[in-house]
């Protein structure tokens, strides 16, 4: 049995999501990350998963000591080629380097990938372990209420520029199966969606405190079904 994410994140993925303008706001995101972390220059940051380094590199260039981990060898190769500077490692997100880190970043809805919910929680627990006391976990992701809002009815295909996404959500488990097409490229994924209530509950259970939730990286916009979810929690 092979998990979908073991082959999903190839060069076709980068091409399709770039075409959908998914990475257009990177510079603004990095600015917002800096504000929300409020960390000193030289702070140690773990970017998990780092993909092709689009966030890790600008943070490195701003003076942070960035380690990026990813399970995709292709993404790491692209990171080294396109965004050199950070320390990139081929690692499972459930087994990050020991740290300690001043901050852990989990961006671009890169959570809920595992077949078992317990593995998602194991990733959160691992990130908690490698944070120093006072360190910050910052997440930016899709949430179940937004998916219910966007895909109504659930099987309605949605266009993202030249890409098209169609899928189905199992509302009891929160698992969504979907396929994105872009020209001849077709990419299928399976992700467990969490509500803010569920995710905040898990973060507090494992020991994180001062958990704040917003609908945008501005740290102001309220969470709603029309927004993404941004979570900031402190160890």
Rounded distance, CA 170 to CA 81, Å? 39
**Residue 186, both tokens:** 């077709």
What is the reported pLDDT for 154? Answer: 84
What is the reported pLDDT for 153? Answer: 87
Q: Do 229 and 213 form a contact (C-beta atoms < 8 A)? A: yes
What is the reported pLDDT for 207? Answer: 98
DSSP one-letter string for 206-232: TT-EEEEEESSTTS-SPP-TTS-EEEE
Segment 105-156, tens digit of pLDDT: 999 999 999 999 999 999 999 999 999 999 999 999 999 999 999 988 888 8
Segment 196-212 mean pLDDT:
98
Cα-based distances in Å from 84 to 54, 76, 203, 222: 10, 10, 32, 35
- A 10 A CB-CB count for 4 gives 15
Cα-based distances in Å from 116 to 22, 119, 121, 171, 215: 27, 5, 9, 16, 27
**Residue 65, both tokens:** 């000591």
Contacts of 118 (CB under 8 A, 6+ apart): none
Segment 36-61 mean pLDDT:
97
Confidence (pTM): 0.96
DSSP assigned state of 93: T
Segment 82-102, tens digit of pLDDT: 999 999 999 999 999 999 999
């Amino acid at each position: 049995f092979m998990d979908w994410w073991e082959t999903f994140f190839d060069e076709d993925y980068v091409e399709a999501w770039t075409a959908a303008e998914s990475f257009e706001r990177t510079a603004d995101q990095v600015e917002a990350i800096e504000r929300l972390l409020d960390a000193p220059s030289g702070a140690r940051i773990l970017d998990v998963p780092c993909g092709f380094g689009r966030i890790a590199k600008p943070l490195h260039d701003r003076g942070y000591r960035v380690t990026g981990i990813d399970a995709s060898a292709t993404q790491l190769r692209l990171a080294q080629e396109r965004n050199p500077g950070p320390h990139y490692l081929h690692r499972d997100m459930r087994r990050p380097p020991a740290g300690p880190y001043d901050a852990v970043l989990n961006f671009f809805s890169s959570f809920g990938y595992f077949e078992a919910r317990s593995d998602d929680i194991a990733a959160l627990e691992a990130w908690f372990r490698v944070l120093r006391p006072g360190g910050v976990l910052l997440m930016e992701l899709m949430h179940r209420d937004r998916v219910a809002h966007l895909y109504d009815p659930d099987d309605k295909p949605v266009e993202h520029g030249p890409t098209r996404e169609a899928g189905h959500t199992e509302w009891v488990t929160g698992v969504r199966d979907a396929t994105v097409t872009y020209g001849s490229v077709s990419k299928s994924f399976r992700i467990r969606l969490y509500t803010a209530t569920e995710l905040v509950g898990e973060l507090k259970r494992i020991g994180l405190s001062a958990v704040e939730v917003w609908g945008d990286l501005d740290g102001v916009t309220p969470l709603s079904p029309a927004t993404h979810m941004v979570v900031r929690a402190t160890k």
